[in-house]
């Protein structure tokens, strides 16, 4: 599969296109009688020279925002699925807090182009999905069951962490939607002003 992908990429590359144009020049030389009996090596040689002389393909390192948001959404869904599978070990209220974190982040991830244009929010969402939430829940779930039951402090620590993460997720979402809220407020003010006229 990888080999055929490379072949397809090469066929559409600048090197192949320049080589083909140079090879066509060799065909033209043959038609006017300049290449003589060596027309085939001349065409191949001109193709090779054209392909080697062409500039290399431009490298694009930017990630497609839709793909990045979809991957983050998939990571968050996978995390929530794993947590729900361990719901019996989670303290009361933990799943509700995680659901609120999930809801806040899902609203942001639903707009991938706007998210890509806001590096601060993108970093905040990525940090929450891939580091903070998994670390909090994973640490609690990796405790031996008898410690997490006997020591209520482990459950209260998790709940405190989830409360902070929920506040962080809501702050990230509020920052992300601040412009929309401002626009809505401006529109309300405009409608009130128009009604007074």
Is residue 19 located within the same domain as residue 116? Answer: no
pLDDT band at 152 (very low <50, low <70, confident <90, very high): low
Is residue 196 in some structural domain?
Answer: no
> In terms of domains, do 29 and 78 share one?
no
DSSP per-residue codes, 129-170: IIIIHHHHHHHHHTS-HHHHHH-HHHHHHHHHHHHHHHHHHH
C-alpha distances in angstroms, 118 versus 96, 113, 178, 181? 28, 9, 12, 16
The dihedral through the CA atoms of 151, 153, 156, 160 has a sign that is negative
Q: Is residue 86 part of a domain?
A: yes
pLDDT at res. 119: 87
Q: What is the pLDDT of residue 155?
A: 85
Residue 130 lies in domain: 65-188
- Dist. CA 129–CA 115, nearest whole Å: 14
pLDDT at residue 150 in the model: 57
Residue of 96, 108, 109 lying closest to 163 (CA atoms):
96
- List the single range of 60-74, 84-98, 106-120, 152-166 with lowest mean pLDDT: 60-74
One domain, residues 94 and 182? yes
* Entry pTM: 0.64
Q: State whether 131 and 84 are in the same domain.
A: yes
**pLDDT of 14-68, one tens digit each?**
888 898 999 898 888 888 888 778 888 888 998 999 899 988 887 777 667 778 8
Reported as a single tens digit per residue, the pLDDT across 80-108 is 999 999 888 888 999 999 999 999 999 99
Counting the structural domains of the chain, the total is: 2
CB 65 within 8 A of CB 132: no
Dump the DSSP string for 61-95: -PPPHHHHHHHHHHHHHHHHHHHHHTGGGSPTTHH
The verdict on residue 182 lying in a domain is yes
H or E stretch covering 17: helix 14-31
CA atoms of 24 and 155, how far apart (whole Å): 74
């Amino acid at each position: 599969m990888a080999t055929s992908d490379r072949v397809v990429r090469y066929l559409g590359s600048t090197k192949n296109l320049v080589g083909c144009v140079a090879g066509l020049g060799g065909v033209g030389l043959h038609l006017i009688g300049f290449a003589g009996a060596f027309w085939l090596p001349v065409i191949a040689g001109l193709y090779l020279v054209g392909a080697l002389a062409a500039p290399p393909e431009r490298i694009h390192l930017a990630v497609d925002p839709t793909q990045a948001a979809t991957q983050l959404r998939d990571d968050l869904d996978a995390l929530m699925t794993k947590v729900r599978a361990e719901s019996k070990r989670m303290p009361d209220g933990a799943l509700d807090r995680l659901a609120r974190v999930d809801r806040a982040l899902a609203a942001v991830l639903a707009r991938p182009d706007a998210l890509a244009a806001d590096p601060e929010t993108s970093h905040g969402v990525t940090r929450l999905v891939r580091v903070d939430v998994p670390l909090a829940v994973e640490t609690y779930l990796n405790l031996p069951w008898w410690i997490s039951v006997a020591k209520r402090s482990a459950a209260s620590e998790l709940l405190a962490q989830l409360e902070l993460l929920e506040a962080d997720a809501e702050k990230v979402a509020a920052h992300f939607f601040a412009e929309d809220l401002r626009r809505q407020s401006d529109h309300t003010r405009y409608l009130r002003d128009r009604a007074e006229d």
